[in-house]
Structure 1
């Protein structure tokens, strides 16, 4: 009977097993799942535009942004909100410039904030990464892209991080916009992805090899923009330096250099100054650097190098690293991790933070603290040379408008250099890097070749004989000295321009009358009594004479201050006659305050005669190159 029970049990167990598997549905085969696309969030695109060209480019960029998984949001700069802007991690800014050098009306509010308000309140934009694209009317005007450049530079000064180079094109140059746009899409998505996934430490640098053989740099390496310009610049031997102004508080130098390269009269000349060797030795002593040590950056694919290597530590600090400017918050933030003293590290981090803006102003900004003085104050701050040269900013070129005619002086270029001096809250005097560079050559008599490059300026000499009106103050007279030399040369060739007039402003004639003797030699002799503020030499120079009248406004030579714009105002009718009936060219060079006052005055004169049509008339003057300005400060 046992076998019957066993058989019965087997039947029951088999039945139960069959029922179990019949009721259980098998799982479907697993299909490969597609990795979800990473959303990169909202990309704010700000637009400053008057004619709509910048708006069109912004719309093209926004359309492409969706392909890269961004959610684009276009905002007119007139709708700009400070708090919203400061929350951005990434943004793109398109902004055009009017032909008179002013921003479009809808960008005025933003420009005021980024250049003045944010600076005054010490806003910290170190979390923001940005890029700027500027549109200009004409390729002939250097000032035409001034709004975009001002925005770009001002954001950098506030600690923001520039993603790619400043874009710059004329309104109809789609090719340049496409190049810039493609550069942006190559880097922006990866930057945003990296920032979304993890914090990139600020101490992430290129690796450095020491004690390397000094060989030519790798030709395939890509460098930062300023270094690339430096590499492609040429060497110009200095021939002569002489004093132009004898005021120790506000001196100026005339510098003459040899050139084998042709240049345009009154074009711009960019100069790469060098740091003072004594200052470099002081920095090296504080950090225990060997200035003769050679080093080389090890390449990382897709990462730009600060400058060409291999080279010595001394050469890197002298030629490439800015050690004389105010230490920026971004630099402090990068340096903090190298402080071995916990208290000093904490203080550096606080100075670099938004909360520490008042302390930053007191400790860094007001005394104009440089990197050398920072090392003295924070003695535990020890940073490897390979990291320091990457933390420091690059030396930027200083631009000067050439003061000589290429026709009269084809083998030399001449510039006027204002020696910049600032007094700190502690009473120390800070001298500008480039002007101090030339001043030391002048004092020691030890001239060394400088590295420089030519660049077109806003001042294009009139293509046909027409009246020329030159308005300037201080060293702004430089390009007009070049123009007068050009007129003199043309006169010797039998080509005469009908009329040239200069309005020059300075503090006092005794010490601030730049190129006084040179200008006097150009004045056309006259037996008539000079008009009010018209300058005449004690003796007439040798011809040919090409300057009909020279009017000088000296603000400190009398109780009532008189400026260049006052002279223009007093010659209201004759100026308008030159503009409207004689097709004159007007050039303005000097301080931005003077330039703005003169520009407003010319516009007012046009308005009095043309009414509402004056706006279009003035735009036409600018577009034709008949009203050109180069200003600074």
Structure 2
């Protein structure tokens, strides 16, 4: 604007009227622009409050009338386990037929097995394939392990079922897995409604066998389950297995001090409530230029919590959905965040999915996985709630077709939030509690030593981005900690400890070689703190030579824990620090390039002095290090290639190669 005025003033040919008009026009435009800029600034500030999902204005989805009358024979679960997709295809066939007979069918993949939900089933058709000689398919292994351990003869006394098993008659125990499940369900008290069926792949008659088996299926089932008239609201209650009531004048439970009720609440929340709620002491940026990407150092104060951890152990962290995201979702669905609800079981044996009373905001922030991956059970639940006929038809295809599901749901990173927004699905709170997953923990390698930091625990997290149909957003844990960074005072996070494969050698005089690019540095910072503690405390603990390979893009871009590493090198805690800055020079240099330069050193430490190599980073880095070791054995010890390759497994079993890789 100022340059435009200057141009007017500098043009001596212009008359006063034109000048006055020009200035008036510019000032008016400037006022408008200023107003726009102020508004945009406000929007940026409001939007920066940990928005997990960058989206346009959210409007409420129209409510579906749940008082309408419907005819139903009730819920019918169709359970399948498959290798090549045949069982899924036949199960989808049963789903379509069940709808015609006025059932409320639920397609359940054994890959999504949940013991609590399974025990509460009262009607089920199993369509399950056999793998090998009477064994389960890989997706059914967890289910098989669980049911094989059950011995209560009344566990399924409420269940009525039938089984169709797929197999190959040229193998011993034809359709053996189906036979085993049929027998085991009866042993545990379930009532067989319809005879066991078998489909034979050897004769290529699976479909014919299936069609013949189900000729009288619906007649038998329909005799057992008559048509009832009910409302859509009551139908949803029956399907959920529990009732939800909004209450006034009641406070929610104190969840910070709540003791998990094993007999009342589903076991999937046990770990959450058994986790330790620790204060956040500090969150700070580790990268020099976080505008491109971010890496956060997080310091938890464990001094008064009784929490114990191992140096470089694994830390489970429960993230939460940020406030902006739950506010958007609540607006979308017509929820009031301050409302309080209670859950009551519909049947005596039903365990509840959540303790209550609970605020809607608490459920959405702490428990409901709004942004996590959608499985086929969730997808079908959303389809049942949708009024979009095209979406319903698509879901039927995607649920029965693994490739279609991967391409249209998984690869697009669809979530409950994105699907409900895109297809305008109104989800009653009761249904959301029923179909959604609980937020699961994320795991990180601890970046501190328990000896040098007995009152603190450190971790670092690289902020990840996820692209879904709503736009690009931070991952859930990334969004959670980014939000906390601006206001962590007085905040607590639920954490728990798990053992890690990263442990210093029992013989500490053995040399260690550490490879940790990026955030993979975390466990090695912990190792170096541990070594420093023992050396400074003069406990007569002798350490072998310590070499660290660290890599990032640039020394002035993302050199995390720079001062720590320089101090470790200066004090000889780290005997050799090798840094690979891939973007600082004319040629890209990575940690594996530096290892190749140091072949003689590594051969001496690893081959001659029986050292240990640790790797924390991407799968590609792990594979590169393995390739380096294979080549080293060939070059330095004359080992033939196939023996060098097999040597890797031997060294891993001896804990001389220890890797934690991802991606």
TM-score norm. by structure 2 comes to 0.62
- Alpha-carbon deviations, 1:158-203, whole Å to 9, x = none? xx99768589xxxxxxxxx7x7730499775449968987699999
Aligned to 1:240: 282
- Return the index of the structure with the highest Cα Rg: 1
Q: Which stretch shows the higher mean deviation, 408-417 or 443-452?
A: 443-452
Aligned to 1:333: 380
Q: CA deviation at 1:229?
A: 1.2
- How far apart, CA to CA, are the structure 1 residues paired with 2:112 and 2:333? 35
Structure 1 588/295 Cα, relative in aligned 2: closer, same or farther at 3 Å?
Answer: same
SS of the residue corresponding to residue 204 of structure 1 reads helix
Aligned to 2:367: 320
- How far apart, CA to CA, are the structure 2 residues paired with 1:194 and 1:251? 58
Structure 1 residue 560 corresponds to structure 2 residue 587: yes
Structure 1 337/87 Cα, relative in aligned 2: closer, same or farther at 3 Å?
Answer: closer
Equivalent position to 1:289, from 310, 314, 335: 335
Q: CA deviation at 1:559?
A: 3.5
SS of the residue corresponding to residue 318 of structure 1 reads helix
Tell me if structure 1 keeps the 8 A contact 2:281–2:488: no
Structure 1 residue 435 corresponds to structure 2 residue 462: no
Q: CA deviation at 1:586?
A: 1.3
Q: CA deviation at 1:305?
A: 4.0
Residues 497-536 of structure 1: pairs in structure 2 closer than 5 A: 497-524=543-570
Structure 1 555/226 Cα, relative in aligned 2: closer, same or farther at 3 Å?
Answer: farther
Q: CA deviation at 1:276?
A: 0.9
Q: CA deviation at 1:632?
A: 1.7
Tell me if structure 1 keeps the 8 A contact 2:80–2:88: no
- Alpha-carbon deviations, 1:1-43, whole Å to 9, x = none? xxxxxxxxxxxxxxxxxxxxxxxxxxxxxxxxxxxxxxxxx99
TM-score norm. by structure 1 comes to 0.65
SS of the residue corresponding to residue 241 of structure 2 reads coil
- Alpha-carbon deviations, 1:441-475, whole Å to 9, x = none? 11345551000100000101222221111001110
Runs of 5+ in structure 1 lacking a partner?
A: 1-41, 47-80, 91-124, 133-159, 168-176, 525-542
Equivalent position to 1:483, from 527, 530, 534: 527
Structure 1 residue 229 corresponds to structure 2 residue 271: yes
Runs of 5+ in structure 2 lacking a partner?
A: 1-78, 93-105, 114-136, 157-180, 197-216, 226-234
Aligned to 1:205: 240
Tell me if structure 2 keeps the 8 A contact 1:270–1:400: yes
Structure 1 304/576 Cα, relative in aligned 2: closer, same or farther at 3 Å?
Answer: farther
- Alpha-carbon deviations, 1:251-302, whole Å to 9, x = none? 1000000113221100011000011122112212222223322121416466
- How far apart, CA to CA, are the structure 2 residues paired with 1:218 and 1:402? 27
Tell me if structure 1 keeps the 8 A contact 2:514–2:548: yes
Q: CA deviation at 1:310?
A: 3.7
SS of the residue corresponding to residue 515 of structure 2 reads strand
- How far apart, CA to CA, are the structure 2 residues paired with 1:455 and 1:192? 42
Tell me if structure 1 keeps the 8 A contact 2:343–2:352: no
Aligned to 1:311: 358
Aligned to 2:461: 417
Structure 1 408/194 Cα, relative in aligned 2: closer, same or farther at 3 Å?
Answer: farther
Structure 1 residue 181 corresponds to structure 2 residue 109: no
Aligned to 1:267: 313
The two structures, once aligned, show a CA RMSD in angstroms of: 3.8
- How far apart, CA to CA, are the structure 1 residues paired with 2:260 and 2:451? 40
Residues 347-366 of structure 1: pairs in structure 2 closer than 5 A: 349-350=395-396, 352-354=398-400, 361=407
Residues 372-451 of structure 1: pairs in structure 2 closer than 5 A: 372-379=417-424, 381-424=425-468, 428-446=471-489, 448-451=491-494
Equivalent position to 1:254, from 276, 289, 297: 297
Residues 68-217 of structure 1: pairs in structure 2 closer than 5 A: 82=84, 128-130=109-111, 181-183=148-150, 189-190=184-185, 204-211=239-246
Equivalent position to 1:588, from 587, 610, 615: 615
